[in-house]
Chain A
């Protein structure tokens, strides 16, 4: 980002090193980027709220919201306006200051993740050398917001939901954090851009196919991310049938919408992180990162947009998988949830770290083994994907399901 602003200053005939206003331009640029990113987060969360309802409706043979705009696409704008004009209720017995402050903690913790999340080859707000560490740390602010909202509401449902949610998020943070360490080990850096650069554009160059333990780590990360985002099958904190609505029971209007904005926005965060760490990020097949760095003029812009499209495409695919899971799996019980985390995922993630370390040292000694393993993993992955698509197509054919794009879409 700094390089871009330096070029802009040079364009207006000043030298960034000596011009006295350089620091102010940086600050203004940062504020502008930050504003753009917060809006991006809010708007994607809004669009996902529409997309999720359409996907859910499709999976349950309903139509879903289709009145506002083409295919109901502007439903989220209508919802936002409605929430903005609703009464902002604060219960009489609530802790007023904490009650009002809790949604801010959620939103700030959520927005901060986007500082280190890359979007394309150059588009990242701050490529910090502790990137992934920062992301794991700052998502913890969301737990603070949840506990604050639950405690300050002075309602049984809120407190039950908040305590369950906090227990779930902090439990799954351990396997999730350790699984994310495997790409860090393979890349030798904590920077998100550095981890993407250590991978390649073609699937067998991705970390997910590097070795069996890396694949296991990807699965562990994905399960943990679902649990940390309170997504089904881990939506116990918001179990409507038992807890009314969980920690946000007493909220209404705009403050209520912040909680759901964070929940839907989190789908982008977890999918973008999976793409960054395991699935090659913005790497274009056949074009190395060095070629991208060296490109100038129109080629650079075209490659940049292509890398952005690849990153967004992969991320949206995983967002869809998250929605798909939500409308496929039932909610699990609290003891199953805790058992799965502490008795299966935590030992497995430690074992995966130990295995990857051995594998890295072996590959360091005999590099050919790494290539063989990548090839085997890739072939297995392709075989599994083909089988999965075949079975899914067969299931859809068996149910006789048809989709009419013309009449009532």
Chain B
């Protein structure tokens, strides 16, 4: 076995499970399609709107807040991804006497992040009223 496939070996179960889960869901849905009745008419196929006929375009414009949240998520999630490897290695750093150095390095990174949060907060991006 060459090194590449040995490296990927632990990830093979994920692929197997991914395919199997998809196939099983699909098979059960097909089965349900055969077992269930098929009695459709136009009114039944309309979108639910509390009984009255649907009005307007459902894909209307939404509050900008949701997009702001998505932007904030991308910023903070990527930053927290950067912190993870440091977190996993902090014990080793400490064992080699580099603990405080590693800590100050990450503290400066997190301070930048906190500054970003303060900025967004001050700008009012976190207010929902």
Contact = CB atoms under 8 A, between A and B. Distances in A.
B29 A88 contact: yes
A364 interface: yes
A253 B100 CA distance: 58
B17 A112 contact: yes
B12 A30 contact: yes
Nearest to B63: A163
A361 B70 CA distance: 35
Nearest to B114: A350
Contact of A157 (B11, B36, B48, B100): B48
Contacts of A133: 84
A156 B83 contact: no
B28 to A, nearest CB: 6
Nearest to A173: B77
A156 B35 CA distance: 30
B126 A343 contact: yes
Contacts of B40: 87, 89
Given A112-B17, A128-B11, A357-B106, A84 B24 contact: no
A360 interface: yes
B72 A88 contact: no
B49 A31 contact: no
Given A27-B16, A125-B13, A335-B128, A254 B29 contact: yes
A228 B40 CA distance: 36
B119 interface: no
Contact of A115 (B17, B50, B80): B17
A254 B13 contact: no
A148 to B, nearest CB: 14
Contact of B20 (A38, A244, A347): A38
A174 B90 contact: no
Contacts of A89: 40, 44-45
Contacts, number: 217
Contacts of B28: 84, 254
B49 A155 contact: yes
B17 A34 contact: yes
Contact of B83 (A103, A157, A178): A178
B88 A250 contact: no
Interface in B20-61: 20-22, 24-26, 28-29, 31-33, 35-40, 42, 44-50, 54, 56, 58-60
Interface of B: 10-14, 16-18, 20-22, 24-26, 28-29, 31-33, 35-40, 42, 44-50, 54, 56, 58-60, 62, 65-66, 69-70, 72-73, 76-77, 80, 83-84, 87-92, 94-95, 99-100, 103, 106-107, 110, 113-114, 117, 121, 126-129
Interface of A: 1, 26-27, 30-31, 33-35, 37-38, 83-94, 100, 103-104, 107-108, 111-112, 114-115, 125-129, 133-134, 151, 153-159, 163, 166-167, 170-171, 173-174, 177-178, 181-182, 184-185, 187-190, 244, 249-250, 253-255, 258, 334-335, 338-339, 342-343, 346-347, 350, 353-354, 357-358, 360-361, 364
